Every structure is written in structure tokens, then in C-alpha cells.
Structure 1
Amino acid sequence: MNYFVNPTVSQTDTKKPQKGWIRLKSHNRKALSEVQKLYGVDLEQEVTHAVEENGFVLLPVEMPVLIGEHFRSVRFLMALSSDVLITLEPESGIAPIDDVEARVKLSSEEISSKDMVLMLIETLIDTTHETVNHISLALDSLAQEALATSGGFDLKGRQVGVADIADTAIGLGEAEELLAHTVEGQLMLARAVRWVRRTMKADYTDTSIILSDIQGSRRHAQFQHSKVRNVQQSLMTTLDLKQNQIIKIFTIVTAVFTPPTLIAAYYGQNFAYMPELGFAWGEWSVMAATAFFALVPMLYIKKKGWLR
């Protein structure tokens, strides 16, 4: 079983409840079952909000975390009592929790479960700041792409198409979803801090500072979310304009070629007698009439300014 407890607490007897921090991975069914029997708390239940059970407070947290080169929304559970902190984590692990464990191991003093939870929450807040900063840089790049599409041409001189706009829109959608999970994660952290303050009698000043940090982080994420919505709105407006432009082009082409098409259809009929066939300039007359009736709509459209 993967136990991590304070150095001052014996780790030899795993049949008795211990003080400290117990880290569990969701795929380790055997260790999870042993801890549940030892402490009488069900860690496998679906927890969507803070729950009190057998002297423990179950605090669910879900937030985006950098795993490899991509951000993934991960969910884990903290079970807190006056003596024990149990964290149930996904199989892939969570880097911020590893950082907190390293800090606790290096500490020369015994750290209470309450203080470990607050340390963990503070580290997750810092992680959120890094996540939002990363998203902010990505948004700057996406905003430049959106600006390029609104201009009509890219750097290679070709006209920006719907596919280019769709790629940018997909990137904005991913950023929006990531920011939404970030804001939700901050709300869950804020609820966890309030539960720790109420049930574990945590220091009011320390928890107030942490709550202020969470609020600042949430506002930062909400500001970036507003930027995403603004860029999305601009992009959708550009897409509508391009679609209208395409429809207008087809309309103009139809208007220009309809009269010549009618003339060609008329002279393509198999009448027994067509007097124009006997004219010396009959062919040229028909060609001139066709060109005239094609130019008249074009000149009208140009005069109205519909070609712009």
C-alpha cells in the first residue's frame, strides 16, 4: 500500500489507523479497499460536493492539470479528518500533489492534516495561475489568426477559407472549455477551504488569504473566458460575411450568364425556318446581342456597388 505519513509517526503497523497523509491511486483496488476498512469511509462513492462521513470530510476537486504536453481535466478526492488526510488520485498522477509531498517530506516539523490540505490547495491555486497564463498566450496566437482571417488573405497571399476559420474556432472552443473547467475548479477549492475552516477550526486569517487568492485566480480565468467569447464573436461575424460574399458571387454570376443562356437556348431549338440564318451578319448580330445582354447586368451591378 502506498502510504506517506509524517516522519514522527510509525509506519510499521498498517492494521491500525495512522496519522498523516495517505495517497491512493484509483486503479489500486486492494489499497483502496484496505484504507476504506481501516477508516470506515467510502472513497468510491460519487461525490459532487463536500460530504461528512465517519469523522471525515470528503472534498472533491476537479481542475485542468498539465499532463505531458497537454492540459487535461482531472478529478480527485480529498478525505480529511483531524489526524488523517487521504487523497484519491487518478492513475496518471497529479504533479502539484507530488510537489506538496516533496515539501512535506523536507519539513523538519510535524504537519497536521489540516495544514497539508491548505498547502495542497495553495499549490493548486498556483497551478491554476500557470494554466491561465498558458491559455492567455494561446489566446493571443488565436486572436492573431482571427485577425488574419478577417482581413481576407493570409501571409501566403491566398484567400482565407472557411476551413482556416474552422481550425481557429476549434482552438477557441478548446480554450473556452479549459477555462470553464478552471473556473469550476476554483469554486470547488473555495468550498473546500470553507469546509476546512468550519470543520477543522482553521485559522481565519490564513484561510481568508487563500480565499482571496482563489477569487483573484477565478477573476483572471473569467477575464480570459470573456476574451475567448469576444474573439469567437468576431470570428463568427467574419464567417457570416464570407458566406454572404460567396452567395453574392454566385448571384452575380447567375445574373450575368442568365441572358446569354436564354439566347443560346432559343437558337438551340430545331425550328423548320429561322430567318436569322439567311442574314449575312446573322451570327455576329447574335453574338453582339449576347454580349450586350451579358454586360447590362454587369454594369448595373457595378453601379450599385455590389462588387465590393
Structure 2
Amino acid sequence: MITLYSLSGDHLEQVEVEPGTPLPENVIWIDLFAPGVNEDSIVEAWTGISIPTREDMTEIEESSRFYMETGAQYLTVPILHAVDLDHRELAPITFILHGSRLITVRYANPKSFSTYIMRSTKPGNGLISPKCSGLSIMLGITEATTNRLADILEGVAGKIDAASHSIYRRQPKARPMTTQDFRHILTQIGGQGTFLSRMRESLAGISRMLVYLSATNNPASGKKETRSWIKSLERDTQSLTAYVDFLSNKVTFLLDTIVGLISVEQNAIIKIFSVAAVGFMPPTLVASIYGMNFSFMPELQSPWGYPMALGLMVASALLPLYYFRRKGWL
């Protein structure tokens, strides 16, 4: 789908173009969402530059993500998008700066895009000025993306804190944690750890893009206001990256704690079986002795033989338990 936007004073305005007609000069942003082959060709005919395919956008080499071709800058950044309510994936999004115009190529719809479009198309939004360029729109989308990542991080931190409270702040009389409890917490914490690694990858891509913009000789990025904006976004990404690292360390600590608690529970179970073995093995030995079929066993003919054997079995069970208890082994 091709969506065109032009400047209309202090906001963006969607432009409708009939098929086969030339591109209006006032179009400042061409948004390609899940483009087909024909739509790629239409934009290429309008702009005279090539549009990267989905396979090109998934390349991980630095030279494939940031490069210049026929006077246009190509910048591809991995951005998180929601697959469903609790699952987010990384999707590559390509920004193409061609003169004062921005072209975006994407096969996902991150919320930051829809938020920016909704705000920038309203008059008096504070995002768009009459001198706005394609680079300004790209930086605005990047700022909306970092703000969205910050909001998501707050939710992740809350879930990690909730998992931490369920581990460390259990009531003294609460029931012991079961296997299902451990499995639930491990799944929850592990999922947040995986999500944090994806978020860090997204922040790293945004940070590299900003560094690339600072290092290139784009006339628009050389303006004082634009340089300050880029520096501000770099500081934001660095702060978010540091916070992601902090949460990742917290997740690692919680996972180690859960594994330690599981080991403690396993040791307690093994201890129960050990106590049972210590308690039942000596009486079993006594019973085995008196169960042997020898012809000469005087106790079998004695009236006190049976109670003596029972008493010996009880004593052989209690004495080891008492000894181990005194030693502090039980």
C-alpha cells in the first residue's frame, strides 16, 4: 500500500494520486506498507531510485543496512512490533532520504508509526513546521519509536518486579512453591529476558543509524537544530540501553535464584527419602534376620521372642534418627 503525505502548513496531509499520474512535487513522505511488485515499480518510476526488497532489508551486514546509492541514503533499522497482545518481534524498516523527501519501506506496522501519523496529521501538533524535511519526519518517527520503547520498558520492569515479589515476599505460612509455580515463574522471567534482548537489538540499530547520520554529509543533518535533535536521540537510546542492561541483569539474577530454589526443594525431597531410608533400613535388617529359615533359632520358641524382636526393630529405627538429630544432620 502506498500512502503519500505533503506539507500543509503545520501538519501533514494525505495526498490522493490517480494511478499513472506523476508524483506531485509537494509530496514529502512516501510510505510503502507491505508493497507489492507493482507498487515498488511505481515508486521507482516516481523517484528514479531503487526500492529494496524484503530480502535486502533482512541483511544484517552493516554495509547492507546503511549506504548511499544514486544520491539517496538508505537506512534500515530493526523495530519492535506487536504480533499479538503479549508477543513482539523485530521487523526491519528502511528509511530512504532522497533530497528533501522521505520514503519508508516496511512490512510491519509498529505502533510508533501509527502514533506519529495520527499526531502529525492534526493541525498544531508541534511536530511539523513549514520548513519540515524528510529527515525531520524520520527523526520524528525515531523519537516516537524511542518513546514507545520507553513505555514498553516500564511494563517489562513491572512484570519483573511482580515475579521478584512472588519469589522473595512470600508469607511465612504460605504453601510451599510447587512445580507449576516454578514453571510459571521461569516461563514468565525467561520470556521477559528474550524480549529484552530483542529490545536491545532494536536500540542498537537505532543508535547506529543516528551515528551514521551524524557522520554523513547530508546538508539537512548539518543544521544546528537537527544536530541537537540527533544528539538528544542518541542520549535517549543510550539511557534506554543502560536500563535494558540493568533489567537483563535482574532477569539473570532472578533466573539464578529460581534455579537455586529448585535445588533447595530437590534437596528437601531427597532429604525426606534419606530419612525414610535411615528409619526403615535397620528394622528391615532385624526383620530379615528373624525371617531366616534356620532350624536353631531359640527366640522363635520363647514367649518373649516376638515382643523382643519388635522392640529391637523400634530401637534400631529410633537410635540412628536420634544420633543424626543430635549431630544436626536432620
Count of residues paired in the alignment: 302
In 2, Cα distance between equivalents of 1:90 and 1:272: 90
State which drifts further: 28-37 or 174-183: 28-37
Q: Given the two structures, how large is their TM-score scaled by the length of structure 2?
A: 0.81
Give the direction of change, closer, same or farther, for the CA distance of 1:274–1:199 in structure 2 (3 Å limit).
farther
Flag structure 2 segments of 5+ consecutive residues without an equivalent.
9-14, 123-127
> What is the aligned counterpart of 1:187 among 204, 209, 224?
204
Q: Distance in 1 between matches of 2:20 and 2:139?
A: 26
Give the equivalent residue in structure 1 for 2:32.
Answer: 24
Q: 2:53 aligns with which of 36, 39, 43?
A: 43
Deviates more, 1:132-141 or 1:267-276: 267-276
- The secondary structure found in structure 2 opposite 1:200 is coil
Quick one: structure 1 residues 252 and 36, their matched pair in 2 at CA, closer, same or farther if it must change by over 3 Å? farther
Question: Structure 1 residue 168 and structure 2 residue 185: aligned?
Answer: yes
Amino acid corresponding to residue 188 of structure 1 in structure 2: G
1:135 corresponds to which of 156, 159, 181: 156
What residue number does 2:3 align with? 3
Aligned 8 A contact 1:4 1:22 in 2: yes
1:6 match: secondary structure = strand
TM-score (norm 1): 0.87
1:215 to 238, 248, 259: 238
SS in structure 1 opposite 2:198?
helix
- Output the amino acid matched with 2:66: V
* CA contact 2:163–2:185 (8 Å) conserved in 1: yes
For residues 209-231 of structure 1, what are the alpha-carbon distances to aligned partners after superposition, in whole Å with 9 as ceiling and x for unaligned?
11111111211222222222222
Pair 1:280 & 2:296 matched: no
Q: SS at 2:176's partner residue?
A: coil
AA aligned to 1:184 is E
1:121 aligns with 2:136: no
| CA–CA distance in structure 1, aligned partners of residues 79 and 270 of structure 2 | 44
Separation (CA, whole Å) in 2 of partners of 1:131 and 1:84? 30
Deviation at 1:3, TM superposition (A): 1.8
**Aligned-residue CA RMSD (Å):** 2.6
Q: How does 1:147-158 map to 2 (within 5 A)?
A: 147-148=168-169, 157-158=174-175
2:248 aligned residue: 225
Equivalent of 1:206, from 229, 241, 248? Answer: 229
Say which is worse superposed, 171-180 or 30-39, in terms of deviation: 30-39
Gaps of 5+ in 1: none
Tell me the distance in 2 between the aligned counterparts of 1:233 and 1:14. 62
Instruction: Please state whether the residue corresponding to 1:235 is helix, strand or coil.
Output: helix
Partner of 2:12: none
What residue in structure 1 maps to residue 11 of structure 2?
A: none
